[in-house]
Structure 1
Amino acid sequence: MMPRRAKDSSPASKARAYQIDDQIGFILRLAFQFHTAIFTDRMVANLTQTQFAAMAKIREMGSCSQSDLVRLIGLDSATINGVISRMKARGFIAVSEDPSDRRRQFLELTRKGAEVMAKAETVGVEITAETLAALTPTERTRLIRLLRKMTGAERAIRSN
């Protein structure tokens, strides 16, 4: 009978068990930082990623309630209030009350907001292409499909 080897519990052995470079959160954070640097450098009108997402969804919907916007772009109510205030102050969106429920607000792009979004969406396509430039077209499609699946966005897209 062979003697049992003692488990290696040295710090070096424990470090090998967990490699930060292989962790999804770490990799996603690096990818997000990479994309954010491109976005910040290229986006028009100093739009933030959140402002751009909100305005793109409002443009897509034509008009959108604030509560629907929260759900559609995955923000919390507290965050969206600040985003809406800043976009309204810049003249990009108009806010109106629902005549049947004064607590409900509807958001629409102003003419200025629509003009900014026409340029921003063109640049947005370029930003996506630059972010994904190291991938083949097949890899790009697969990555986006897998991320949608992982986040549940695939179900949300099908239900809209």
Structure 2
Amino acid sequence: MPAKASQARRSTAPAPKIHAGAAAAFYVLDHQIGFALRLAHQRHCALFAARIGDAELTPTQWAALAKLWQTGPTSQNRLGRLTGMDASTIRGVVNRLIKRGLVDTRPDKEDARLLLVGLTREGTQLYRALAANALEISEQTLAPLGKDERETLMRLLDKMR
């Protein structure tokens, strides 16, 4: 089916209420938001793997490094919230970054019960070395879109968070 015809069938209006038994006739996977987001995410992850410049670094690890660069040392719990990762995921990410010597943990000077995660010298150097690659990956991910479309997409995604 031509792209324009496919796009013409998509609607931004709320889906009509459909009887559960009839839903199967109306459900088209290619027109579902989750499917479209997953395909876009897969494309972005493929670009990331090919272009980040560190074969061991994952997008979630990069997110943690980038957020630590922006915020400075913070608790693992807060880092998880800031990067959209649940507790077990951020724990694994931090542990792998510790093993690579890119982050370390230290007690909070104001609250000894709290452990802060922060970039090491190696983590800071890696972040600085790869930041331009990460910007290029974002650029390539959005390459099919014009400037206004990019702004609209980001605004709409922000609205959905």
TM-score range, shorter chain: 0.7 to 0.9
Give unmatched runs, 5+ long, in structure 1: 1-12, 152-160
State the match for 2:94 in structure 1: 84
Instruction: Note if 1:32 corresponds to 2:32.
Output: no
In structure 2, what is the equivalent of residue 23 of structure 1?
32
Q: Does 1:105 align with 2:102?
A: no
Query: Which residue of the partner structure matches residue 69 of structure 2?
Result: 59
Q: 1:14 to 1:89 in 2, by over 3 A?
A: closer
**Residues in 2 aligned to 1:77 and 1:104: alpha-carbon distance in whole angstroms:** 15
Instruction: Determine the C-alpha separation between the residues in 1 that align with 2:153 and 2:60.
Output: 22
Higher helix share goes to which structure?
A: 1
Deviation track 1:46-75 (CA, whole Å, cap 9, x = no partner) reads 310100000100000122111210111111
| CA root-mean-square deviation | 1.7
Gapped regions of structure 2 (runs ≥ 5): 1-21
Match of 1:147 among 145, 154, 157: 157
Tell me the distance in 1 between the aligned counterparts of 2:26 and 2:129: 48
Q: Distance in 1 between matches of 2:70 and 2:23?
A: 50
Could you tell me the TM-score, scaled by structure 2's length?
A: 0.81
Q: Percent identity between the aligned chains?
A: 43
Q: Distance in 1 between matches of 2:36 and 2:43?
A: 11
Paired AA for residue 37 in structure 2 = L
- With normalisation by structure 1, the TM-score equals 0.81
Q: Is the 8 A contact 1:66 1:104 kept in 2?
A: no
Give the superposition deviation at 1:25. Answer: 0.6
What is residue 156 of structure 1 aligned with on the other side? none
Q: For this pair of structures, how many residues does the alignment match?
A: 140
